[in-house]
Amino acid sequence: MIEKWNLKLLYTSETDPQIQKDIDLSTKNVRAFVKEWKSNKEYTKDPSVLAQALNEYEKLETSTGICDKPMYYLALRYYLDQNNADIKAQKSKLADLCTKLGNEIQFFGINISKIAKNRQKDFLVYKGLKDYKHYLEETFRSARYILSDKEEKIFGLLYGTSHSNWAKMLNELLDKQKATILTEKLEKKEVNYNDITQYHHSLNKNVRDVAAKEFNRINSKYAEIAEFEINSILKRKQVSDEYRKYSRPDLSRHLSDDIDSDVVDTLVKVITQNFDISQRYYKRKAELLGLKKLGYHERNIPLPGANKEYSFPQALGLVKKTLGDLDPFFEDIVAQYSEEGQYDSFPAKGKSGGAFCISFSKTLPTYILLNFTDQLNDVLTIAHESGHGIHSELARKQNSFNCGYPTSLAEVASTFFEDFVLQEILKTTKDRKVEQAILDMKLNGDISSIFRQVAFYNFETELHHDYREKGFLTKEYISDLFCKHMKAYLGDVVEEDEGMRNGWIYVSHFRRFFYVYSYASGLLISKALQKMVKDDKKNIGYVKKFMESGSTQSPKELFKGIGIDIAKKEFWENGIEEIRTLLNKL
């Protein structure tokens, strides 16, 4: 078992001469493709020529891409050592080259999107383009919003200064801050900003209140900067949307996620109409904790009994066993990741906080970042992130156009596996109080993934609307708006305090625009798949089929093929009722 990333699967170090060789080769390959197809537009007229061009593009993607391997390596190195100035500089310089090469080759997709409407069907039915059919469908669907090559280049070049640099600045300012907190032994300890929130979950009120005070101190310090940051990226978003003639701020997200706006609207409406569930949950949590009110920072406090500790080998073994019982292939993937150094398991100085799974391309290894601290929730995090990895491994069966999956599908596999691991833990739990604590932890996660994320979506929707109406939003206005939507799902038992008012400052979701609905949709779809497998274990085949499909179909069509209709409100209502049943049990 290797508990740190083995980046030698990519390069020996950041000074490995092979990095520059791969950058040079990628640049050469991209420019060779540009030279061949930039002036030759026969592929927009003849399906057979387009098939040849797409085959060549696919070959480029599976070999070097646009400096895929070097960029991937430097990104991974950065996640492990965010204070390393040399890595940041090297990564930034390569990102500039990638932007330049991306701008040089983007004409290809733009020209495909401009294929005359009366000819598009000829391309879609052509047998030689069968493997690219859904890519073409998506491209044709988005065509009306795609600008000319020169205009797209300008928007691409200005994205850094008008969006990403703003968000990165705020993130790095916060990350560099230190806080003095109390440990469980009530000893003072200095921690990084990203580590503060774990102390919000302490059963000791002194510990969590000191952590909250420090967290709020730092957020308040940067509130004015956050005000200008978020107004700047809202402006950039408005300019882009108006130039492209998007009818609503979230439409670009729906198009990129290959999902109908009607489906998202139905999901959001059904969950919002059932906010009484989340309100009841927090009221019940306060009762179980013996508190009349919860501070905003206290909404995730575990109940006593959910504090069983696991070593990393124990946790990994539990995940492997549970996944192996579903299908041996799943266990094999987790074992491979462990044996080859594709998990980075423990917290370290300079390392990124949280957890994620990253899969950069079809031909490069997947890596999973964890910050394991021996807690029960860390076991579930291994299952969750491994689920993303398994999804990515199965989707590699598709070509490079289809081997990924949209955000709308991203949380399905992860929550599917996470829930089965939790159920395995519950099977071996004999103590009623421990069972109640684990049930609460499960509900806490479900409420956060479904109701909290939809409250976030509602906040984002109103935020963009109000910005476009008013032209600038003060930090006080944004805080009022954020509190309005948080209280809608939390209810009166959670106090509107400084923590809630600062809540919009540090949430990275709002800088990526409207993807939060996918947490809710992913979990509810995953529950439907879980029910299918519990009803008949052979139905795990449908789950594998879904993951193997990559992005060969829209989510709507993909799930319809296995008997799930996500366009119907009844589907989402059934999933919500399962949460209500769990709450009644609590």
**447-488: pLDDT as tens digits:** 999 999 999 999 999 999 999 999 999 999 999 999 999 999
Q: If pLDDT is split at 50, 70 and 90, which confidence band does 429 have?
A: confident
Residue 314: count other Cβ atoms within 10 Å of its Cβ.
12
Give all strands of the β-sheet with 367-369 in edge-to-edge order. 343-344, 367-369, 356-358
**347-403: pLDDT as tens digits:** 998 888 889 999 989 999 999 999 999 988 899 999 999 999 999 999 999 999 999
Phi, psi of 494 (to 5 degrees): -95, 125
Q: If pLDDT is split at 50, 70 and 90, which confidence band does 157 have?
A: confident
**194-231: pLDDT as tens digits:** 889 989 989 999 999 999 999 999 999 999 999 999 99
Average pLDDT rounded to a whole number, residues 12-19: 96
Nearest to 447 by CA among 216, 285, 208: 285
Q: If pLDDT is split at 50, 70 and 90, which confidence band does 430 have?
A: confident
For residue 323, pLDDT beyond 80 = yes
* Predicted pLDDT at 432: 87
Which residue in the block uniquely carries the two structure tokens 């399905």?
412
Q: The tokens of 429 are what?
A: 């739990």
- The dihedral region occupied by 84, where left means phi > 0, alpha psi between -120 and 50, and beta the remainder, is beta
**Distance from C-alpha of 208 to C-alpha of 358, rounded to nearest angstrom:** 32
CA distances from 191 to 169, 172, 296, 457 (A): 20, 15, 21, 31
- Determine the 3-state secondary structure of 65 from DSSP: coil
Average pLDDT rounded to a whole number, residues 417-443: 91
Alpha helices (H) along 396-507: 407-427, 432-447, 453-470, 475-490, 498-501
For residue 148, pLDDT beyond 80 = yes
**Percentage with pLDDT > 70 across the chain:** 100
Domains of the chain with bracketed CATH: 7-146 (1.20.140.70)
**Distance from C-alpha of 487 to C-alpha of 503, rounded to nearest angstrom:** 12
Phi, psi of 401 (to 5 degrees): -75, -25
| Segment (H or E) for 179 | strand 178-182
Buried b (16+ CB within 10 A) or exposed e, 178-208: ebebbeeeeeeeebbbbbbbbbbbbeeeebb
